[in-house]
Structure 1
Amino acid sequence: MGTLDKLRPVVDDTISASARARFRTDPIGGERYSRQTSIISSAYKRHGQILERALRERLSESEYFTVWHEPEFRVSDIADRAINGRNSDIPDGGLIELPYGDPARTIQVDSFVYDSRIKSLRAYEIKRGNGHFDAGKKRSILRDVLCTQSLLRSYGSATGLDISIAEARVICYFGVRALPPPLSLVAEDLDDHFVFSVKSHVERVNQYFQEQLYMLLEGINSQTQLDFDGLCATCPIKGRPQSVH
């Protein structure tokens, strides 16, 4: 079963949930455009979760990879203080390695990938990467990535993994990087990074999600017509024939 086959039910459920979602009609947008805006806004957020799942599912199809995610990766106070004490512009946190365990706070790690070919353990935060982050958000992402990397070797060793490489990265799939390389990856980097075909399989999932979303929006267009009666007499579109696209 391919990546799209695994994700198709997830996409279908997501689209169905969007179709059922309640929304507030905006006085300017009216019912049709308010609903469309609500659905599209929701789709952007829900697509982030689908993208995470698609990447994990595709990577798990490699015989060399062990893939999992951790919703509560423990970050110690020592790690936070060690990272905060360094220059915020440092490109890599590889020189700091600390013991994993003490939970001063937790963060979600979207994907761990252990590659048995080279004994690497890598941790990834996965973002759509289609919008710019402000300076504060970038600092927060950098802090989490470097903290994760400082604890990663200890975390993996505690699970019995033999690790030669331990790295944390953020994947900004659509190309707007939250951090500079090498700490961030975009879609075009993934095949070479993993030495495994990734992008084309994820793109099939993205295309299916887009197709289903468009069908939902077109269904709204066909069911809801603009109400021109409330427009003022001087409005340039008053009296024009209504069209449904």
Structure 2
Amino acid sequence: MDTNAEPELAQHTTNAAGPPIRQLFRDVIADRIQGPRPPQAAILFDDEVDPCWDDRSFLGDFYSEILHQDTCQPATADGLALVAALAVDDRVLAQHRFQAVDLLFRAATVAERHLAETWPTTPQHADPDSEARARNAVQAHVPTLLARWTAECTAVRLALAGLAVVFPTDRTLPALTPRLQNFLHQHPQGTDIGDYLRFVVVLATQNDDRILTATEQLTDAHWTGTARGVPTRPRAPHLLGQMLTKVGIGLTRAPPRQ
């Protein structure tokens, strides 16, 4: 019996901080957010650790703390600071930085995407105030995120492109299309990434007629449709979100390099 004591102690010591991804996220947040942290940081810093956590299950719980079941709650806006900090730290693997930017996109577009899904009725769990605060919180982080474009890998740039058209500015939109040209040559129309990129380019034009036409064509091709009566403004981010999800699934099968 005594021979098992030392290995058990070693195992407890190794796992005291939880799975490796939790330890990494905790280190990043400790370095990047000084002083009071949002309440969702408790999942990183509490002494109590779920013994069932591995990297995958922890990530699910962590992101659910911030954007629970794809809905914005009063604390969501504050929690997005954690996600933004992870998205800009090179210690975090590229696939997790992609997930962080993807979550920021989803938090910023909750209202539009849910309206597109439930039109013409109001989304059941809508919280307009929390949704607006979350959108504003994401917008505040966008300049810092986009400033990393040249240093980022292809996968994260794809997610950043989606975020850029959600928050268009006179500075970012003219630069976006030229930055995507090489990707457009590499990924032809009809592929997940190729269609996603071409839709981003159309959204960057801010031309309502072109956006509606592209939305109709892509919806008819192979994406889950929305009711034709839904205004273009919520339909477009709903479609873009579906496309970004599919791009992310493809990248997960072949994890991108940092």
TM-score band, normalised by shorter chain: under 0.3
**More strand by percentage:** 1
**More helix by percentage:** 2
The normalised TM-score by structure 1 is 0.25
Greater Rg by CA: 1
The normalised TM-score by structure 2 is 0.24
